[in-house]
């Protein structure tokens, strides 16, 4: 169903997908589409997007703090060393999505991430090079115009998969590109469309 941007009670026009949920609206306003260049944060988002497969993003977003605690704040160097005992503990953690394939996929992806970090200029540059280092700005008017995947997300998906990353299909990768600001898919009438590229993400305090 095609939807246009909607005017909210605070006088701001937003993309329709966060609805009236304050938690979801805050994510839309401050995170989604804001360029992310931190290596570790990009790994975290890619893994969470993999966990989202088959679910709604708001489900994952509400569990994000639980995921961060369960997965050592998504530090790849720690996740790469997870053993069967740790995987078993995660499978018993009701605070996250308990899917063995996705948990084991996060471990494999952490190992692939570390290899990219060791071999080249870093995970962030590896990803951002697909868009020549700057956000691709789209001008969609309705949600029906926004694609589920693109030739670029297919290309990135194939490259990530070839390097051992798991749950990185073209649709997952495109959602990841949208969320991390590699593409700006805020609807053209959304107040974030013209501002998100200029925003800077504040460094996040680590989970204790």
CATH number, domain containing residue 176: 1.10.340.30
Which domain, by its residues, includes 64? 8-198
Report if residue 206 sits inside a domain.
no
Report if residue 208 sits inside a domain.
no
Report if residue 171 sits inside a domain.
yes
Report if residue 130 sits inside a domain.
yes
> Is 190 marked within a binding site?
yes
135 and 152 Cβ atoms separated by less than 8 Å: no
Q: Select from 181, 191, 189, 183 the least CA-distant residue to 143.
A: 189
> Is 186 marked within a binding site?
yes
> Is 193 marked within a binding site?
no
pLDDT band at 2 (very low <50, low <70, confident <90, very high): low
Report if residue 67 sits inside a domain.
yes
pLDDT in tens, 106-159: 999 999 999 999 998 899 999 999 999 999 999 999 999 999 999 999 999 999
83 and 74 Cβ atoms separated by less than 8 Å: no
Residue 198: how many CB atoms within 10 A of its CB? Answer: 8
**Total number of domains in the chain:** 1
Report if residue 2 sits inside a domain.
no
> Is 200 marked within a binding site?
no
pLDDT band at 35 (very low <50, low <70, confident <90, very high): very high
**This prediction's pTM:** 0.94
Q: In this structure, are strands 13-14 and 6-7 parallel, antiparallel, or unpaired? A: antiparallel
Report if residue 25 sits inside a domain.
yes
pLDDT in tens, 160-197: 999 999 999 999 999 999 999 999 999 999 999 999 87
pLDDT in tens, 43-74: 999 999 999 998 999 999 999 999 999 999 99
Report if residue 38 sits inside a domain.
yes
């Amino acid at each position: 169903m095609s939807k246009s941007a909607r005017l909210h009670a605070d006088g701001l026009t937003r993309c329709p997908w966060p609805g009236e949920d304050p938690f979801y609206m805050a994510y839309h306003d401050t995170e989604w589409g804001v360029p992310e260049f931190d290596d570790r944060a990009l790994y975290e988002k890619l893994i969470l997007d993999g966990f989202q497969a088959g679910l709604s993003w708001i489900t994952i977003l509400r569990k994000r703090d639980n995921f961060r605690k369960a997965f050592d704040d998504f530090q790849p160097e720690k996740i790469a060393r997870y053993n069967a005992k740790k995987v078993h503990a995660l499978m018993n953690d009701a605070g996250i999505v308990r899917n063995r394939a996705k948990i084991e996929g996060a471990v494999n992806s952490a190992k692939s991430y570390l290899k990219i970090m060791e071999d080249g200029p870093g995970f962030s540059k590896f990803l951002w090079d697909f868009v020549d280092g700057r956000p691709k700005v789209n001008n969609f008017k309705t949600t029906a115009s926004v694609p589920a995947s693109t030739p670029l997300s297919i290309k990135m998906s194939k490259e990530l998969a070839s390097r051992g990353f798991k749950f990185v299909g073209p649709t997952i990768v495109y959602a990841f590109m949208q969320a991390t600001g590699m593409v700006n898919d805020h609807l053209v009438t959304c107040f974030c469309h013209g501002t998100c590229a200029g925003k800077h993400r504040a460094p996040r305090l680590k989970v204790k």
